[in-house]
Chains A and B, each alone.
Chain A
Amino acid sequence: MNKSELKQRLKDYSDQTINEYTMPIQIEKTANICITVMRKQTDNAAELRQNFWGFLSDVFHFEGIPLLLSQLVVFVAACLTALASPMGHYDLPMCMPLFILAVTPAFFRGQRYRVSEVEAATRTSGALLTLARLVLAGGGALVCLTLLLALKMYLQHSCESLGRMVIYCLVPYLTCMTAMLALIRKSRANGAPLCVAIAVGSVIFWRYIGMIFPLLYEASALGIWLVAVLVYSCLLAKEITYIIHANKEVRMYGIVD
């Protein structure tokens, strides 16, 4: 129904009232039409709400730059590490948890500044916000990892170990990312410090495991790494699936009581 038709209906209603010739059925009909129009207007207002990509663009606008800059700092540090030991296998895996450490403040900032309650009461309900941050952080890390591997291959003048290096880097990254998402899901009040501890602990672990147990980086040990990649990919996929479901069902996600 367009505006003029609605106007006519309202005029008819008004005429009926003025002429004191009210017909209850007609009035009810008019009222129902008005209710339908009002509901349609409400629906249209709901349609104005943004889709995920619009939302992602907004999150990038507000959080993207600091999030990517912090990853850039880690990227530079990882480049310097790679340059220091061009032939080493465990310098890059050691740096991967630092990418999680760099994005930890962004993921936990709602908790830190007590904004998570306000954020949770919006239509994003916390889960979509985490998903958007995950896309940005994951995207940034992926670009950094690609460039780091390219640098490594350049330094080694060979692409022979590319596959192995990818796997060596993915395991610590996936481990820390999964741990961080699990901490957010469990809504622990000390989630952020725990996440930092896990990331720092991982750096130390991957630094010394390479020195103490160099056989772990031998070609024959590749099976262990592949299993680890598979296991942590599944766990990460599980966390992401949980976030997607939490968002769809508007379940509470990541709110500290």
Chain B
Amino acid sequence: MELSIDRLTKHYGHKIAVDRVSATLGPGVYGLLGANGAGKTTLMRMLCAILEPTSGEVRLDGKDVVGMGPAYRDVLGYLPQDFGYYPSYTAAEFLSYIAALKGIPREAAGKRVKELLGMLDLTAVADKKIKTFSGGMKQRVGIAQALLNNPQVLILDEPTSGLDPKERVRLRNLLSEYAGDKIVILSTHIVSDVEAIADVVFVMNKGQFLVHGTVQELAEQVRGRVWELTVPREQARLWQEDFTVANYRHEGERVVLRIISDEKPSDGAVPCEPILDDAYLYYFGAKEA
């Protein structure tokens, strides 16, 4: 299975939300990393064929997804960023409702709903109204509805927002387990989420893919640009004003700064092992500043 994105563009009047984005995705987990307003949600909506692109197309195994019609929707699972629900529905009712919209016959839907409620630890609250749920529980209902039709293409927009650390780890494991031969695309601005599960990371800014690669490849791109520098506490603020500081750690009366910089910031700075956070800050912290 292959999902190809070909020069996908979306304009809103004069504003360009997504600008000639191209990529070819095979089975695996893809992370879309970018700041708010980078164009992630617009891209996700176009990948789901719920937003018409200004130009370009998305193809699944060579077929245009808009032209595929229900055949594409049958293999698609989608969790939008702004996940809404009907307050009068219980979790089980809401999932059954979405299953009906997905065209799953009632008997099969009942089994699947039960299975997913169990998988996402919602069985105990299956008959409670969603409006009484915590943010994390609502998000889990959202994830469950996306998985109802056992989708081959799973698109999750900010799936970890509102989840506590335990739930985030649980979701990561679930997605890793689920991925297998499927295409899973998740967008987030939380670096550790993509770092933990994404096979390939796309860094998006101003509607374009700035860079993409595995977590290691992206981290490698900033090798030689990550420095550690120990300075007196009173000087730390000055360094923060002049450089992108990824981390700030107290050591007695001194402060150890992790600085992202093309040039060695000071004679006392020592190069250190880069991580994805550094790459993210390099592209967003340095270039946008």
Interface residues of A (CB under 8 A from B): 46, 48-50, 54-55, 58-59, 61-62, 109, 113-125, 129, 248-250, 252, 255, 257
> Given known contacts A46-B71, A252-B51, A257-B51, is B100 in contact with A118 (CB within 8 Å)?
no
| A122-B98, A250-B70 known; A114 vs B82 contact (CB < 8 Å) | yes
Contacts of A54 in B (CB 8 A): 105
B172 at interface (Cβ–Cβ under 8 A)? no
Supply 9 further A-B pairs (C-beta < 8 A) apart from A54-B105, A123-B102, A250-B68.
A46-B74, A49-B103, A62-B93, A114-B83, A115-B85, A117-B45, A118-B84, A118-B98, A119-B101
Residues of B within 8 A of A55 (CB): 100, 103
B41 to A, closest residue via Cβ: A117
Kindly supply a per-residue 1/0 record for chain B positions 106-121, scoring 1 wherever the CB is within 8 Å of any chain A CB and 0 otherwise: 1010000000000000
Q: Judging by beta carbons under 8 Å apart, are B85 and A50 in contact?
A: no
Task: Report the minimal beta-carbon distance from A4 to chain B, rounded to whole angstroms.
Answer: 26
Question: How many B residues face the partner with a CB closer than 8 A?
Answer: 39
Question: Chain A nearest CB: distance from B150 CB in Å?
Answer: 9
Residues of B within 8 A of A249 (CB): 69
**Cβ-defined contact, B73 with A121, below 8 A:** yes
Contact A124 B103 (CB under 8 A): yes
Q: Interface readout for B235-259 with A: 1 if CB under 8 Å, 0 if not?
A: 0000000000000000000000000
- Contact between chains at A109 and B86 (CB < 8 Å): yes
A252, B52: Cα distance in complex, Å: 7
Q: Name which residue of chain B comes closest to A109, CB basis.
A: B86
Residue in B71, B80, B98, B100 whose beta carbon sits within 8 Å of that of A59 in the complex: B100
In the docked arrangement, what's the CA distance between A129 and B100, Å? 10
**Residues of chain B contacted by A46 (CB below 8 angstroms):** 71, 74
Q: Which residue on chain A has the smallest CB distance to residue B102? A: A122
Are the CB atoms of B78 and A121 closer together than 8 Å? yes
**Are B84 and A121 closer than 8 Å at their CB atoms?**
no
Report yes or no: B101 in contact with A124, Cβ–Cβ below 8 A: yes
Are B85 and A113 in touch, CB under 8 angstroms? yes
Chain A residues within 8 Å of B84, by CB: 113-118
Chain B positions 242-288 with a Cβ under 8 Å from a chain A Cβ:
none
B108–A48 touching, CB < 8 Å: yes
**Bound Cα distance A135, B41 (Å):** 34
Is B70's CB under 8 angstroms from A123's CB? yes
15 pairs from A and B in contact (CB 8 Å cutoff): A49-B70, A49-B104, A50-B103, A113-B86, A114-B82, A117-B45, A118-B84, A118-B142, A121-B48, A123-B70, A123-B103, A125-B50, A125-B70, A250-B49, A250-B69
* Distance in angstroms between the alpha carbons of A61 and B97 in the assembled complex: 9
A179 to chain B, nearest CB (A): 24
Whether B73 contacts A123 by the Cβ 8 Å rule is yes
Find chain A residues with CB under 8 A from B103 CB.
49-50, 55, 122-124
Q: Are B80 and A117 in contact (CB under 8 A)?
A: yes
Contact of A250 among B12, B73, B87 (CB under 8 A): B73
- Asked if B145 is an interface residue, CB under 8 A from chain A, the answer is yes
Give chain A residues whose Cβ lies under 8 Å from the Cβ of B108. Answer: 48
Contact A50:B101 (CB < 8 A) given known A115-B84, A120-B50, A252-B51: no
A54–B85 alpha-carbon span in the complex (Å): 23
The residue on B at minimum CB distance from A111 is B84
Nearest Cβ on chain B to A253's Cβ, whole angstroms: 10
Interface residue? B76 (CB, 8 A): yes
Assembled-state Cα–Cα distance A162/B206 (Å): 64
B66 lies within 8 A of chain A by Cβ: yes
Query: Whole-angstrom distance from the CB of B192 to the nearest CB of chain A?
Result: 27
Q: Is the CB of A118 within 8 A of B83?
A: yes
Q: Tell me the bound Cα distance from A46 to B105 in angstroms.
A: 11
Asked if residues B85 and A125 are in contact (CB atoms below 8 Å), the reply is no
Please state if B52 and A62 are interface contacts (CB–CB under 8 Å).
no
Which A residue sits closest to B12, measured CB to CB?
Answer: A257
B residues within 8 A CB of A120? 48, 50
- Return the 7 tightest CB-CB contacts between A and B, nearest first: A114-B84, A58-B100, A49-B103, A250-B69, A121-B78, A122-B101, A123-B73
CA A49 to CA B69, docked complex, whole Å:
14
B86 near A122 (CB under 8 angstroms)? no
Cα-based distance from A121 to B79 in the complex (angstroms): 9
Tell me the smallest distance from the CB of A121 to a CB of chain B, in Å.
4
Distance, CA A255 to CA B12, complexed state (A): 15
CB within 8 Å of A: which of B86-142? 86-87, 93, 96-98, 100-106, 108, 142
A121's closest neighbor in chain B, by CB? B78
On whether the beta carbons of A118 and B69 are closer than 8 Å, the reply is no
Considering the chains assembled together, what is the distance between the CA atoms of A37 and B93 in angstroms? 35
